[in-house]
Amino acid sequence: MARTSDLDVAYVARLARINLTEAEEKVFQKQLDDVLNYVEKLRQADVSHVEAAAHTLPIFNVFREDAPGDCFKAEQALSNAPRQANGLFVVPKVVE
Amino acid sequence: MTGKDLPALNIADLQSLLRRCEVSPLEVIDALRGRIDAIDPEIGAYLSLDMDAAAHEAKKSNVDLPLGGVPLAIKDIINVMGQPCTCGSKILQGYRAIYDATVIQKLRAAGAIPFGKTNLDEFAMGSSTENSAMKLTRNPWDLSRVPGGSSGGSAAAVAMDAAFGALGSDTGGSIRQPAALCGVVGLKPTYGRVSRFGLVAFASSLDQVGPLTKTVRDAAMIMNAIAGHDLQDSTSLNEAVPDYTARLGDDLRGVRLGLPKEYLIEGIDLQVKTAIDDAVRQMSSLGAEIIEVSLPATEYAIAVYYIVATAEASANLARFDGVRYGYRAQNPKDMLELYGRSRAEGFGPEVKRRIILGTYVLSSGYYDAYYLRAQKVRELIRRDFVRAFEKVDALVSPTSPVPAFKLGERVADPLQMYLADIFTIAANLAGICGISVPCGFAEVEGHRLPIGLQVLGKALDEARILQIAHAYEQSTDWHKARPPIAAAVA
């Protein structure tokens, strides 16, 4: 597939666990190539003396007392589960 | 005052009536219900309503509380216990919130009644609300146009008097831009000013919850209720919360307003430019000193945003995997297929695009070129604002370079859609606060389309930008205008 950036949409979509159709791969490749070509302009910025911003405001590690508080009951946590049984989330078998 | 006229009130006026017992909270809920039934089928602002629960709350409400008996609409990305929280996505269809977000707890403590959830771009990703998987929302001023986004449902609901006020969320302009396009007030607080606990995360270093209202005073009243430190959000700031209404009424004499020269770009609509020029002249005549300033890194803001925001989104949206909640694909043969198909079938195109882009810019070999570089340029953008605020008290600009555009006009070209946020995005990257206030109309094809004036303030200076926006607002009649469809129903 012709593309104008290093991005391989089909490959990255697999990393992100999204099964794309071929039609989607084609459209997204073109659209994201456009976006990546646009962000190329960042190369013009002089950042040689700049530390990367971790936070815009002075926020540091925040600690609290290591004391138990309220938490959800199992039935609340399971109330939106697509499949559940015996207080557990049910998924396809993961070990052979 | 008859029940039919009630929904047109702003929050401050509604509160006066409630406290004088000229109307009961239950009558307010009934009037609002009638209004929504009459007008929302045309507009599509709401995704879900819980008027019976609201009526129940209204019966026991205490009107002496700061927002006692005031019904508020909530963007459907904020958890309200027992109500749906779809985020405008098929992947959360049927989901019901099992807790109240901190902002909802605080609104309830102040006496407000959350009664309905408003439409949005899927996971707040978009500038037109067209990325919602649920329904289309139309601009009340011209039904062939978008309401802006991503808080388009909240903005449209307030504009057509189908809500007294609403909460939205703003990651790159998602409160201010729809507020501008619908002719209402929208405030994005300083990053960390309002708790994000219970706001479904899109880009965690940028997201903030804020109000959309009919007047600046109403926005200040909602801020009084929702601002403040929260142990549930480690990025919330442990700083005192002032009374945001205290400085409303102060005039503009001696206030220094900066005009960023980079914001007068090519491509800005001529009618928008004229309205902003008039607004600046008006503020000058009210005593403000106008000073030209420069924000040279502005040209990089959109590029930085679409790297930082997508990177954070790709991590945040990993939780939607079809296992613990939300949509799951039918009959997957193994876990990989369960993940891959649930996400393929549950997410819409814009969300998929952003997850893929975000995954890519964080991936081995590309991290330095994209993400790290973007974070450094972000620091340049932040420094621009720090320097500007040494010279001025606030910055003024258009909120959006154009008035509301046509439904469908930009859907096929994501980059064009992204450029709609050019004036709002830098404030999120720098973590500062901003407000959009109505400043006029563009006449387009026989319709009046609202224009918004943006006032940006330094971190934690919400009281100042509210004061400035209020002084301007009160010297004009723009905030009193209502769309023709609202007048027709009243």
Q: What CATH number should be reported for the domain holding residue B119?
A: 3.90.1300.10
Searching chain A, which residue's CA lies closest to the CA of residue B236? A59
Does A71 contact chain B (CB < 8 Å)?
no
CB contact under 8 A, A18 and B99: no
pLDDT band per the 50, 70, 90 thresholds, residue B1: low
Q: Least CB-CB distance to A50: which of B322, B341, B380? A: B380
Q: Which positions 29-68 of A are in contact with B (Cβ < 8 Å)? A: 31-32, 34-36, 38-39, 41-43, 45, 47, 50-57, 59, 62, 64
Terminus-to-terminus CA distance in chain B, angstroms?
Answer: 12
Chain B residues lying within 8 Å of A15, measured CB to CB: 359, 363
Q: Least CB-CB distance to B300: which of A42, A52, A94? A: A42
Q: What is the pTM of this model?
A: 0.97
Q: Residue B310 falls within a domain, yes or no? A: no
Q: Are B115 and B26 in contact (CB under 8 A)?
A: no
- Among candidate residues B432, B311, B454, B310, the one with its CA nearest the CA of residue B383: B432
What value, to the nearest 5°, has the Cα angle with vertex A35 and ends A30 and A37?
Answer: 90
| Residue B136 to residue B348: CA distance in whole angstroms | 14
Q: Residue B346 falls within a domain, yes or no? A: no
For chain B, the domain total comes to 1
Q: Residue B297 falls within a domain, yes or no? A: no
| Residue B262 to residue B124: CA distance in whole angstroms | 27
CB contact under 8 A, A50 and B379: yes
Question: Min CA distance, A4 vs chain B (Å)?
Answer: 15
Helices B373-391 and B301-316, axial angle in degrees (round to 10): 120
| Distances from the Cα of B259 to the Cα of B208, B270, B290, B442, angstroms | 25, 17, 7, 21
CB contact under 8 A, B431 and A45: no
pLDDT of residue A69: 86
pLDDT of residue A7: 95
| Residue B221 to residue B216: CA distance in whole angstroms | 9
pLDDT single digits (tens) A5-35: 899 999 999 999 999 999 999 999 999 999 9
pLDDT band per the 50, 70, 90 thresholds, residue B78: very high
- Among candidate residues B215, B244, B176, the one with its CA nearest the CA of residue B434: B176
CB contact under 8 A, B356 and A17: no
Chain B residues lying within 8 Å of A17, measured CB to CB: 321, 336, 339-340, 343
The 8 Å CB, 24+ separation contacts for A25-33 are A25/A1, A26/A1, A27/B349, A28/B349, A28/B352, A28/B353, A28/B356, A29/A1, A29/A3, A31/B353, A31/B413, A31/B414, A31/B415, A32/A5, A32/A7, A32/B353, A32/B356, A32/B357, A32/B360, A33/A3, A33/A4, A33/A5, A33/A7
Tokens of B333: 């043969």
Q: Residue B344 falls within a domain, yes or no? A: no
pLDDT single digits (tens) B280-289: 999 999 999 9
The full DSSP string for B112-172 is -EEEEEE--SGGG--SSSTT-SS----BTTBTTB---SSSHHHHHHHHTTS-SEEEEEESS
Tokens of B94: 């049927």
CB contact under 8 A, A16 and B314: yes
pLDDT single digits (tens) B47-59: 999 999 999 999 9
pLDDT more than 70, % of chain B = 100
Q: Residue B332 falls within a domain, yes or no? A: no
Exposure class string for B90-118: b at 16+ Cβ within 10 A, else e: bbbeebebbbbbbbbbbbbebbbbbbbbb
A57 pLDDT higher than 90: no
CB contact under 8 A, A34 and B415: yes
State the best of B93, B96, B207, B360 to mutate against chain A, taking most chain A CBs within 10 Å. B360
Cα dihedral B145/B147/B153/B159 (nearest 10): -110
- What number is the average pLDDT over the span A80-94? 94
- What number is the average pLDDT over the span B7-31? 97
pLDDT of residue B490: 65
Convert B309-329 into a string of H (helix), E (strand) and C (coil). Answer: HHHHHHHHHHHCCCCCCCCCC
pLDDT band per the 50, 70, 90 thresholds, residue A59: low
Q: Residue B58 falls within a domain, yes or no? A: yes
Q: Residue B347 falls within a domain, yes or no? A: no
Active site residues of B: 75, 150, 174
B174 pLDDT higher than 90: yes
- What number is the average pLDDT over the span B7-14? 98
B234 pLDDT higher than 80: yes
Q: Least CB-CB distance to B375: which of A53, A83, A92? A: A53
Question: Min CA distance, B325 vs chain A (Å)?
Answer: 4
Chain A residues lying within 8 Å of B192, measured CB to CB: 57, 59
Tokens of B409: 């006009």
pLDDT of residue B4: 80
Q: Residue B361 falls within a domain, yes or no? A: no
Secondary structure (3-state) at A5: coil
Question: Min CA distance, A46 vs chain B (Å)?
Answer: 8
Per the structure, the complete domain to which residue B241 belongs is given by 6-261+386-489
CB contact under 8 A, A55 and B205: yes
ipTM (interface pTM): 0.94
Searching chain A, which residue's CA lies closest to the CA of residue B98? A76
